Amino acid sequence: MIKNRILLFITIVFANSCSSSINDISSNERVKLVDIGGSVAQAFQKDLFRHLSEAIGDGGAPNAISVCNLEALEITKAAQRGFPQSLEIKRVSFKFRNAKNAPDKYEAEALNYLATPQKGDAYPINTVQKINFGKETVFRFYKPMRMAEMCLQCHGSDKQISDVVAEKLTELYPNDLAVDYKRGDFRGAIRIQISKEDLLK
């Protein structure tokens, strides 16, 4: 009995220390976050585009498969050098190729918001969150990504993806969901996360 109570106690303490919640963000925090997040996300998108185009130019889409990967990009390395230590870049998508890019519950909320047209039919250009994970507070900035023509060689229909590319993709990602996109489709978001200490210093 006592043993059971102790177990219950441990379970409750553990569950609480892992609990998380979303908080209101002040306008000062928002301005700083949009400033850092916006510039990192934009640099990332440019970097991705440039590396993909170069690799496709060099040897076609099969040659570029390893490039559409966060770790392959300069900005990821730059983010580790020039930017605040806690800064983390992730790509999130509901229809993902690599399961590590699947959204957690806050990322899913952000994706739903970004994918929904607002008043006047315009889509949001970004969104931000302040989240407590236990004792730690982090800020997240999200920038939506849409599909360009060039992306469809690896994320489009059967007809747009060559046999060689399809074969490689099936081998590397047997549970691939990131196909059948069309030009202009909402693809997901770039998510920049930064600790409270780093944002407010």
Q: Is the dihedral of CA 52, 58, 59, 60 positive or negative?
A: positive
175: nearest Cα among 113, 96, 80, 106: 96
132 binds ligand HEC (CB under 6 A): no
Q: Residue 100 and residue 151: Cα distance in Å, rounded?
A: 20
**Near ligand HEC by CB under 6 A, which window of 23-31, 122-130, 131-139, 146-154?**
146-154
For residues 52 and 199, which CB has a smaller minimum distance to ligand HEC in the complex?
Answer: 52
**Near ligand HEC by CB under 6 A, which window of 2-10, 28-36, 62-70, 136-144?**
62-70
111 binds ligand HEC (CB under 6 A): no
For residues 115 and 147, which CB has a smaller minimum distance to ligand HEC in the complex?
Answer: 147
CA angle 152, 155, 160 (to 5 degrees): 50
**What residues contact 101, with CB distance under 8 A and at least 6 apart?**
90, 91, 92, 93, 188
Out of 51, 155, 156, 160, the residue judged to bind ligand HEC by CB under 6 A: 155
DSSP H stretches of helix in 117-156: 152-155
178 binds ligand HEC (CB under 6 A): yes
Residues touching ligand HEC, count (CB under 6 A): 24
**Near ligand HEC by CB under 6 A, which window of 19-27, 82-90, 92-100, 109-117?**
92-100
For residues 38 and 195, which CB has a smaller minimum distance to ligand HEC in the complex?
Answer: 38
Out of 25, 43, 128, 150, the residue judged to bind ligand HEC by CB under 6 A: 150
Yes or no: say if 127 and 110 are a contact pair by the CB < 8 Å rule: yes
Region 12-51 residues binding ligand HEC, contact defined as CB under 6 A: 49
For residues 149 and 197, which CB has a smaller minimum distance to ligand HEC in the complex?
Answer: 149
Query: What is the per-residue burial (b if ≥16 Cβ within 10 Å, else e) of 48-59?
Result: beebbeebbeee
Query: Dihedral of the CA atoms 143, 69, 52, 88 (nearest 10)?
Result: 40
Q: Residues interacting with ligand HEC, by CB under 6 A?
A: 49, 52, 61, 64-65, 68-69, 91, 93, 96-98, 101, 145, 147-148, 150-151, 153-155, 178, 187-188
